[in-house]
Amino acid sequence: MSFLIQQTLLYSIPLMIVALAGVFSERSGVINLALEGIMIMGAFIGVIATRSLQSLQIFVDAQASGNWAMLQLMELMIMLIAAFAGAVFSLLLSYSAINLRADQTIGGTALNLLAPAICLFLIRVIANQNTLGMENGSSPADWFMIKRSTLGIDPMQKLDFFTETFVVKNYLATYICIIIFVIMAIILYKTRFGLRLRACGENPQAAASLGINVFKMRYAGVTISGALAGMGGFVYAMTTQNCTSNGDVAGFGFLALAVMIFGNWKPLNIAFASLIFGFFKCIAASYSTLDINGDGVYFLRDTIKVSPYLYMMMPFVITLIVLSLTSKNSRAPKAEGIPYDKGMR
Amino acid sequence: MNNKLSLLYRKDGTQKFLSSLIAILLGMVFGSVLIAIVGATNPDIGGKGILDGIKLVFLGLFSTGTKNGALTFGFNPTLFGDMLFRATPLIMTGLSVAVSQKTGLFNIGAPGQYLMGTLASLMIALSIPTTTVPPAVVWLLAFLGGCLAGALWGAIPGLLKAFLNINEVLACIMTNWIAANLVTLLFDIGKFSIFTGAQTSAMGDPIVLHGSFKNLIESTKSAYIYKTTYNNVATPKLGLDKLLPGSQVNGGILIAIAIAVLVYIIIHKTTFGYQLKACGANRHAARYAGIQDKRNIVFSMAIAGCLAGAGAALYWLSGNTEFAWQTYQSLPAVGFNGIPVALLAINNPIGVIFSGILMAMLNIIGTRLTALTSYNEYITDVIIAAIVYLSAFALMIRMWLSGSNKKKMLAFKPAAVNPEPPKPAETEKPVEAIKPPEDPAPVVSENQEGGAQV
């Protein structure tokens, strides 16, 4: 049971943060189809940063002596770098969508094509193969994972359910993402900035008439979106892909888009939706090894016998159904996808 | 002569063509810059490596290999044939995107439709035994099956758009990933059993394909579906392989070109095509004029899906391609590359033929870079992505092309205040203007302007 919850969280948290990234962009009036591309970029830069920080003596010593505070600091630094990379990459989208008033769908598609291409091109040049991992074949479990030894717990000691599930074998990144999610949701709903941002996505002309700079607000929305998505991309790569980058996040960015739609562009619903979708993803991933009650029978593979691909398909099917059921009262921002034109009313 | 040239230059079509050309060149320059940067930071590559890389980006199609460490260039029939072979599905997905664009819909669902076409055509081609049914009939059935599967898959977002007003981009993204998992699922559990007759195994026994579609006969190939040649199904070469020896080219490219011409005729010369375009221009006005907008939106998406499915059928039925069935992690690039193909052709079906071949050329350039330098084929994708991004700037490039009146066009675009056209009009138009004095209709606004200026 703890395994299932842990795994679900691993998939849900990046999904949640990237879906929130989508909300920030769309609420400011720019459709961000590039979530997938930004995630790929964030993951790639994150892995590059991990590799270069790994060779610094201070962190090598910290890892050797088990100085976990130092290592967690390193993890935070890499998350920040990945967020910065995502924000910079998303500027390409803002420039074409806001300054040039180009088609946002095409701009997003271009970024989705560009990110894997550049990443794979560089990975092949750097590593001469299609996957870039950490230096010397080490894994994030050695460096960043919170383990029994990190906390000084005896390996044989029986743990209570809470510690077993939410502390041991977890990553600090998961909780940082949750905190960031809450903070960003509050910013979006309870601050002046958030209100202005949302106004630009509903009726930019009205917002401009009250002295709000729509261009700046949309730039802010897309850049925040890029930072969150870039960070989410790295967290996804670190926690579920063993800190590797291969120019691919397996459609995770599009899944986040589905989460955003399913959650009706609202943070609380998104948190809920990402748990459901993360659960499907987790079931599909641990299909052949999931042993719920520990009796040696692989429940999904041997008892239910439904193909794992069906579980992976479910989130998209559900989203399509939800889309068609709620099309009449969808809360999608009114002005999303429409370039802002001062002269229009 | 000079006047004619400047007239040609001012034509809308010419400027569109030029802006596409500039987008392509800028994309290639961007690729070259990336090559130079990577080369400069990597001591193994060096100045000569950078130069070779850039040469190949622009002239890769004419590369014939290396001699004494230096690249040689010339006509290479193998590369030309491979280019035409790879262009086949690109033309079809490009048409798919272009047709939907005519109705004002952005078909980002081409990858999913392409996958469904692949599923249907491969399953049909492999599970009807050619020992009893002639291979040509099986090929035709598989091709039509691919078209139908793509059409049905494309119709889903069309129906959702027409009747529930759901954004087709979102619906297409969802159907893409459903298709990616569905295709993997069905190839994973699909079962069939046929006796293929002509083929024999290494031991000389006749092969009976049974069990799953996964290639279990050849070792290490279980991630792939059987080639259709196991069932003697392959697109006829139509002599093209004699023309371009050593390449994978087959009759598929001719079929693709024929379909492109057919689509051009349907869109531009029939009532149905006009209705599609009317819905794209203004759905509500079209309905007011008595056009069934909902039906046309569904048809447009279904045709788009049909074209993408046909592209898949033409590619996978060729007999020399193997389909990796685990598609659940990524969507086929061919589907997405239909977007730049259509963008570069400005949605003109005839233009799609050329832009499709051009995209295929970029593909070939990528393979040459991998083979001959320390760079790799992903530079192609970088260039294509740059082209898509730049095509967002197409409007700006067009403004820049039209020169001095740039600022006025930037501000607004009323053609009436355009000071440029009168000059050529003065020399040629007056003759026409005098000839039909009884014609009351003011034919061209340019004439009036010219008069006003004089």
pLDDT of amino acid A7: 86
Question: Which residues in A lie closer than 8 A to residue B177 (C-beta atoms)?
Answer: 251, 254-255, 313, 316
Which of the four pLDDT bands, split at 50, 70 and 90, describes residue B451?
Answer: very low
Q: Does B385 touch chain A (CB under 8 A)?
A: yes
Helices in chain A by DSSP H: which ranges? 2-27, 35-54, 57-65, 68-94, 104-127, 140-143, 148-151, 161-166, 172-190, 192-202, 204-209, 214-240, 252-262, 267-285, 308-325
pLDDT of amino acid A299: 66
Tell me the Cα Rg of chain B. 25
Which of the four pLDDT bands, split at 50, 70 and 90, describes residue B326?
Answer: confident
Instruction: Give backbone dihedrals phi and psi of A333, rounded to 5 degrees, phi first.
Output: -55, 135
Q: Does B50 touch chain A (CB under 8 A)?
A: no
| Widest CA span in chain B | 90
Which of the four pLDDT bands, split at 50, 70 and 90, describes residue B2?
Answer: low
Question: Which residues in B lie closer than 8 A to residue A122 (C-beta atoms)?
Answer: 38
Residue of higher predicted confidence among B373 and B437: B373
Q: Are B377 and B383 in contact (CB under 8 A)?
A: no
User: CB atoms < 10 A from the CB of B245, how many?
Assistant: 10
Q: Are B86 and B363 in contact (CB under 8 A)?
A: yes
Which of the four pLDDT bands, split at 50, 70 and 90, describes residue B282?
Answer: confident
Among A34-48, A127-141, A242-256, B33-47, top mean pLDDT goes to A34-48
Could you give the CA distance from residue B24 to residue B21 in angstroms, rounded to a whole number? 5
Could you give the CA distance from residue B285 to residue B276 in angstroms, rounded to a whole number? 12
Nearest CA in chain B to A92: B389
Q: Under 8 Å CB-to-CB from A162, ≥6 apart: which residues?
A: none
Residue of higher predicted confidence among B424 and A70: A70
Instruction: Give backbone dihedrals phi and psi of A321, rounded to 5 degrees, phi first.
Output: -65, -45
Nearest Cα residue to B89 out of B336, B429, B386, B415: B336
Could you tell me the end-to-end alpha-carbon distance of chain B, in angstroms, rounded to an integer?
A: 24
B288 CB burial (10 A radius; 0-12, 13-18, 19+): exposed
* B contact residues 101-140, partner A, Cβ 8 Å cutoff: 106, 108
CATH class in words for B79-365: mainly alpha
| Token pair belonging to A191 | 């601050």
Cα within 13 Å of Cα(B28), Cβ side: 20
Could you report the per-residue pLDDT of A52-85, keeping only the tens digit for each?
A: 998 888 888 888 887 888 888 999 999 999 999 9
Residue B174 to residue A313, Cβ atoms within 8 A: no
Instruction: Tally the residues of chain B.
Output: 454
| Token pair belonging to A4 | 């299932």
Residue among B42, B378, B393 minimizing CB distance to A100: B393
pLDDT of amino acid B235: 83
Q: Is the pLDDT of residue B424 over 70?
A: no
User: CB atoms < 10 A from the CB of B12, how many?
Assistant: 9
Q: Are A18 and A228 in contact (CB under 8 A)?
A: yes
Could you report the per-residue pLDDT of A184-220, keeping only the tens digit for each?
A: 999 999 999 999 999 999 999 999 989 999 999 999 9
> What's the gap between Cα A84 and its chain centre?
14
What mean pLDDT is reported for chain B?
81
What mean pLDDT is reported for chain A?
87
Among A180-184, B233-237, B292-296, top mean pLDDT goes to A180-184
Mean pLDDT of B308-322: 91
- Return the residue matching tokens 């190939």: B221
Q: Report CA torsion sign: B255, B261, B267, B271.
A: negative
Q: Is the pLDDT of residue A305 over 80?
A: no
pLDDT of amino acid B200: 58
Instruction: Calculate the alpha carbon distances from B244 to B83, B99, B104, B240 in Å.
Output: 11, 31, 39, 6
Report the complex ipTM: 0.87
Could you report the per-residue pLDDT of B251-266, keeping only the tens digit for each?
A: 899 999 999 999 999 9
Which of A22-36, A54-68, A146-160, B419-433 is least confident? B419-433
Could you report the per-residue pLDDT of B354-398, keeping only the tens digit for each?
A: 999 999 999 999 988 888 888 888 888 999 999 888 877 766 666
Return the DSSP state at A99: I
User: CB atoms < 10 A from the CB of A161, how many?
Assistant: 10
Q: What percent of chain A has pLDDT over 90?
A: 40
Identity at A72, one-letter amino acid code: Q
Residue among A31, A107, A120 minimizing CB distance to B389: A107
Residue B382 to residue A114, Cβ atoms within 8 A: yes
Q: What percent of chain B has pLDDT over 70?
A: 81
Q: Are B398 and B413 in contact (CB under 8 A)?
A: no
Return the DSSP state at A329: G
Which of A10-19, B2-11, B242-251, B407-416 is least confident? B407-416
Which of the four pLDDT bands, split at 50, 70 and 90, describes residue A223?
Answer: very high
Residue among A33, A112, A124 minimizing CB distance to B376: A124
pLDDT of amino acid B85: 92
Q: Does B180 touch chain A (CB under 8 A)?
A: yes
Nearest CA in chain B to A99: B393
Among A33-42, A60-69, B39-48, B120-129, top mean pLDDT goes to A33-42
In chain B, where are the structural domains located? 1-75+374-410, 79-365, 415-453
pLDDT of amino acid A68: 81
Q: Is the pLDDT of residue A134 over 50?
A: yes
What b/e readout covers B433-442, taking b as 16+ CB neighbours within 10 angstroms?
beeeeeeeee
Residue B173 to residue A124, Cβ atoms within 8 A: no
Which of A86-100, A109-123, B322-336 is least confident? B322-336
Which of the four pLDDT bands, split at 50, 70 and 90, describes residue B422?
Answer: very low
Which of the four pLDDT bands, split at 50, 70 and 90, describes residue B142?
Answer: very high
Q: Is the pLDDT of residue B401 over 50?
A: yes
| Widest CA span in chain A | 71
Residue among A31, A103, A114 minimizing CB distance to B385: A114
Interchain CB contacts (distance < 8 Å): A and B: 142
Question: Which residues in A lie closer than 8 A to residue B111 (C-beta atoms)?
Answer: none
Q: Under 8 Å CB-to-CB from A198, ≥6 apart: which residues?
A: A27, A28, A188, A333
Q: Which residues pair with A342 in a beta bridge?
A: none
* B contact residues 317-346, partner A, Cβ 8 Å cutoff: 328-331, 336, 339, 343
Tell me the Cα Rg of chain A. 21
Nearest Cα residue to A223 out of A259, A262, A266, A193: A193
Which of the four pLDDT bands, split at 50, 70 and 90, describes residue B310?
Answer: very high
Q: Is the pLDDT of residue B150 over 60?
A: yes
Q: Is the pLDDT of residue A48 over 70?
A: yes
Residue A258 to residue B185, Cβ atoms within 8 A: no
Mean pLDDT of B52-80: 83
Could you give the CA distance from residue A289 to residue A296 in angstroms, rounded to a whole number? 10
Nearest Cα residue to B60 out of B385, B375, B337: B375
pLDDT of amino acid B218: 74
Residue of higher predicted confidence among B17 and B152: B152
Q: Is the pLDDT of residue B3 over 80?
A: no
pLDDT of amino acid A19: 95
Cα within 13 Å of Cα(B311), Cβ side: 35
Q: Under 8 Å CB-to-CB from B445, ≥6 apart: which residues?
A: B415, B416
Angle at B144 between CA B343 and CA B153, to 5 degrees: 55
Q: Are B87 and B247 in contact (CB under 8 A)?
A: no
Q: Does B410 touch chain A (CB under 8 A)?
A: no
Residue B392 to residue A117, Cβ atoms within 8 A: no
Question: Which residues in B lie closer than 8 A to residue A124 (C-beta atoms)?
Answer: 376, 378
Residue among A102, A250, A320 minimizing CB distance to B171: A320
pLDDT of amino acid A300: 67
**Minimum distance, in Å, between the CA of residue B114 and any CA atom of chain A:** 17
Instruction: Tally the residues of chain A.
Output: 345
Residue B392 to residue A100, Cβ atoms within 8 A: yes
What 3-state DSSP class applies to A146?
strand
Mean pLDDT of A273-297: 78
Nearest CA in chain B to A325: B164
Instruction: Give backbone dihedrals phi and psi of A234, rounded to 5 degrees, phi first.
Output: -70, -40
Question: Which residues in A lie closer than 8 A to residue B392 (C-beta atoms)?
Answer: 96, 100, 102-103, 106-107, 110
Mean pLDDT of B225-247: 80
In chain A, where are the structural domains located? 2-148+162-244
**Minimum distance, in Å, between the CA of residue A283 and any CA atom of chain B:** 15
Q: Are B342 and B100 in contact (CB under 8 A)?
A: no
**Minimum distance, in Å, between the CA of residue B55 and any CA atom of chain A:** 18
Nearest CA in chain A to B389: A110
Mean pLDDT of B11-38: 85
Q: Which of A260, A313, A324, A325 to mutate to test the interface with B (most CBs of B within 10 A)?
A: A313
SS (H, E, C) chain B: CHHHHHHHHHCHHHHHHHHHHHHHHHHHHHHHHHHHHHHHHCCCCHHHHHHHHHHHHHHHHHEEEEECCEEEECCCHHHHHHHHHHHHHHHHHHHHHHHHHHCCCCCCCHHHHHHHHHHHHHHHHHHCCCCCCCHHHHHHHHHHHHHHHHHHHHHHHHHHHHHHCCCHHHHHHHHHHHHHHHHHHHHHHCEEEEEEEEEECCCCCEEEEEEECECCCCCCCCCEECCHHHHCCCCCCCCHHHHCCCCCCCCHHHHHHHHHHHHHHHHHHCHHHHHHHHHHHCHHHHHHCCCCHHHHHHHHHHHHHHHHHHHHHHHHCCCCCCCECCCCCCCCHHHHHHHHHHHHCCCCHHHHHHHHHHHHHHHHHHHHHHHHCCCCCHHHHHHHHHHHHHHCCHHHHHHHHCHHHHHHHHHCCCHHHCCCCHHHHHHHHHHHHHCCCCCCCCCCHHHHHHHHHC
Cα within 13 Å of Cα(A336), Cβ side: 23
Question: Which residues in A lie closer than 8 A to residue B180 (C-beta atoms)?
Answer: 251
> What's the gap between Cα B178 and its chain centre?
22
Residue A96 to residue B42, Cβ atoms within 8 A: no
Could you report the per-residue pLDDT of B285-302, keeping only the tens digit for each?
A: 999 988 888 999 999 999
Question: Which residues in B lie closer than 8 A to residue A236 (C-beta atoms)?
Answer: none
Q: What percent of chain B has pLDDT over 90?
A: 33
pLDDT of amino acid B10: 67
Which of the four pLDDT bands, split at 50, 70 and 90, describes residue B132?
Answer: confident
Residue A307 to residue B385, Cβ atoms within 8 A: no
